[in-house]
Structure 1
Amino acid sequence: MLKLSKDDRKHLREALISGFRTYSSLRIFVSDNFDFRLDEIAESRATGVATDNLIEHFEEGSEDGDVADLILALYKERPRNPAVQKLMDRLQAFLEQRLVLEPSSQEAISLLFELPEPYDDRQLESFLPRPLSYEADCGQLLRGLQQCANAVCKVSFMDRPTTGTGVLIAPDLILTNYHVLSEQIVQDQSQLAEKARTLLFEFGFVSEEHNIPVSPDTFKPEATNPIVCCSPPSQLDYVLLRVEQNIKSADYIKPVPIQSTASLLSPNNELNILQHPEGNVMQVSLSASGVVQVLPSKNRVWYVNRTQGGSSGSPCFNKNWELVALHHASMSRGFGSVREGILLSSILDDISRASNVRIG
């Protein structure tokens, strides 16, 4: 745990006030990054007083994290602010050792899995991304987002608050986790189909542009036969769902190409995940060397990219933005969490037999 000196605390206070000059902006910062409201701990709406209360809240230790979590969140929000940069320079040696994986606070279901041997916590920690030094090729990132982002949707329900993420792999077919649809295995296919009819698929759910709200396009499953094929969580944990036909009228929504020749993953490879964590707007998780191990015999891949509840069913892409896995679980370790995905190659045969998905 990071212990602040008197001077460190002074610099943190200055950085927070410089980054968030009003109480309302500081309040938004807290609500966007933590599971509590500034109003709950602030003794006053004066920015200086509220800032002091916020620092004290994290220094005293709580389930919301410690002061290093506050500093990392501040850096994420205001990386170019001179006062923030000055603070990071003072604390860089400590912060570069901190894990930046976010806790999986609201996963739709708790799935257990065994980690690959012979990795221990120290070896696994070596795969973690370093937030102060990561670089991404802007052109490659832009091309990947242009090709893939519009195919990703938030998966929600009309009758319960659970959310997940899905990806369009054909003009009217969405792939996500089985456990997003149902936490329990449903043997009666008519009952499973009935669950599927309560789903909603929200495409284009992204952050606002120029303060203009962006309304997602929402579609429902096909009413008669919404489930094309599926496999329970203990096996391949996927469900392929057919969407109502009017999705084809949204010309910006294009399916992600399925490549049987996609580059195979190896340890230390890049991995990119498009997701709707906690049911929020779409986010991308980049990892320059986040793949821990790939086990084709078990149809699994392990990695350390950031995910949260609501990320279940998210598409995982290799460095060339080829779809290679479906995120489905997270396991806590002594230093943080390791994620597990289902290799797309293990699902392709089922999909091709049950549908007309074009596989390149």
Structure 2
Amino acid sequence: MDWSTLNGMQQKLLRETILSAYTDPLEFNMFLAAELNKPALATIAAGATFEQQIFSLIVKAKAQGWTQSLVEALQRDRPDNPLVKNLPDAVRMTGTEQPRTAGHAQLSLEKIVRGGGFAQLREFSQKLAMIGEAVCRIEAPAGTPMGTGILVAPDLVVTNYHVVQQHIESRANLPEIACRFDYASDASGVADGVAIGLTTAGDWTIGSSPYDPAADTRGTGLPKDDCLDFAILKLSTPFGGERKPLSLSPTAAGIDQNLPVLIVQHPKGAPMSLAIGASLGLNENGSRLRYDTDTLPGSSGSAVFNQQLELMALHHAGDPSAVTRAAYNQGIPIAKIVAALRQREQDFQSKGIPKFWIS
């Protein structure tokens, strides 16, 4: 949004947000110096009280064109403050409300609760359809479900290491693995889709990273940095331009707690399904994104999305200490996988494999 065009009510929201995040001028002066390289508040903004000085500061920032920098710094310094977190959506809503007219009270019942923002319905449905074409069921042998995979290049699919672990560790030259696309149901019934095997020309897996047995299966300690539980499979036949791979991007950061998490998956090998839950945040070392979205055996290797349908994680496991009802499910942040792929870029180039992630 354009922070340089705030109206009076929007400036009031910004002022109240700053006052909720900083309790006194000294605390705010530390923020100005550290985040914006600005002098003390009293030297750049007039006013007898802290609130008056903040009012003057916002007016000056708007006039000098650094309101956006102020808001971005505020979100960096106070990310857990609820008013700071919801500020963009609150400002947008205030900008769409009709002004009060003389003699008429204005009633506004709509409020921001989660702060997840809004998705354009038609664009959302189009993205979801594209995602459906990129998700596949991993089978071994063909017809026997093992997990879920994601098309990330015309001829490459990413899934969990543990889904194909037996084939990788036995060094099978001609694996029986197949990737079944378009296995889904609609009003007309279940479509069997199309199963595509893996390449027989060279390596059928071009890169992998194991899971952490202690952390991921026994709940002991934190996962090691080099245990990301992924495998990149090479298809025997690449897809043409009609089927779009999903992007692996390091900018896909974790999802704030309580915001929606969507997983497209093949639970128990069933036709493609969508489950919706909420984020529980990252674990202690940022190696796993946790959420309460439902999964089942066969969901390993599924695509995890935020509310804007950006690929955020590769689902791989649930709470290892759960006996009946799990406390969480978890996935590998895409940014971690991209970092691992970046380290192997020269090796990929030497094997003639084009870059298939976003730097």
Tell me the TM-score normalized by structure 2: 0.55
1:153–1:166 contact (8 Å) kept in structure 2: yes
Q: Give the counterpart of 1:295 among 283, 288, 294.
A: 283
Q: Secondary structure of 1:192's partner?
A: coil
Q: 1:307 to 1:156 in 2, by over 3 A?
A: same
Which has the higher relative contact order, 1 or 2, with Cα contacts under 8 A spaced 6 or more apart?
1
Q: Secondary structure of 2:133's partner?
A: helix
Q: Secondary structure of 2:171's partner?
A: helix
Counterpart position of 1:237: 229
Counterpart position of 1:330: 318
2:139 corresponds to 1:151: no
Q: 1:263 to 1:147 in 2, by over 3 A?
A: farther
For 2:266, the aligned partner's letter is H
Q: 1:324 to 1:139 in 2, by over 3 A?
A: same
2:145–2:268 contact (8 Å) kept in structure 1: no
For 1:248, the aligned partner's letter is F
- Aligned residues between the structures: 216
Distance 1:143 1:333 in 2: 39
Question: How far does residue 171 in structure 1 lie from its aligned partner after superposition?
Answer: 1.1
Q: Give the counterpart of 1:163 among 129, 146, 149.
A: 146
Q: Secondary structure of 2:185's partner?
A: coil
Distance 2:326 2:163 in 1: 23
Q: 1:341 to 1:358 in 2, by over 3 A?
A: closer
Counterpart position of 1:347: 337
Percent of aligned positions that are identical: 27
Counterpart position of 2:266: 276
2:249–2:334 contact (8 Å) kept in structure 1: no
Deviates most, 148-157 or 158-167 = 158-167
Alignment RMSD: 2.6
2:263–2:276 contact (8 Å) kept in structure 1: yes
Q: 1:339 to 1:137 in 2, by over 3 A?
A: farther
Question: How far does residue 266 in structure 1 lie from its aligned partner after superposition?
Answer: 1.8
2:213 corresponds to 1:225: no
Q: Secondary structure of 2:127's partner?
A: helix
Q: Give the counterpart of 2:184 among 206, 227, 252.
A: 206
Matches within 5 A, 1:78-117: none
Q: Give the counterpart of 2:192 among 215, 219, 223.
A: 215
- 1:131-169 alpha-carbon deviations (Å, 9 max, x no partner): xxxx99744541331231110000011189451000011
Counterpart position of 1:359: 358
Question: How far does residue 243 in structure 1 lie from its aligned partner after superposition?
Answer: 0.8
1:152–1:274 contact (8 Å) kept in structure 2: yes
Distance 1:171 1:337 in 2: 36
Question: How far does residue 282 in structure 1 lie from its aligned partner after superposition?
Answer: 0.2
Distance 1:185 1:226 in 2: 9
1:158–1:198 contact (8 Å) kept in structure 2: yes
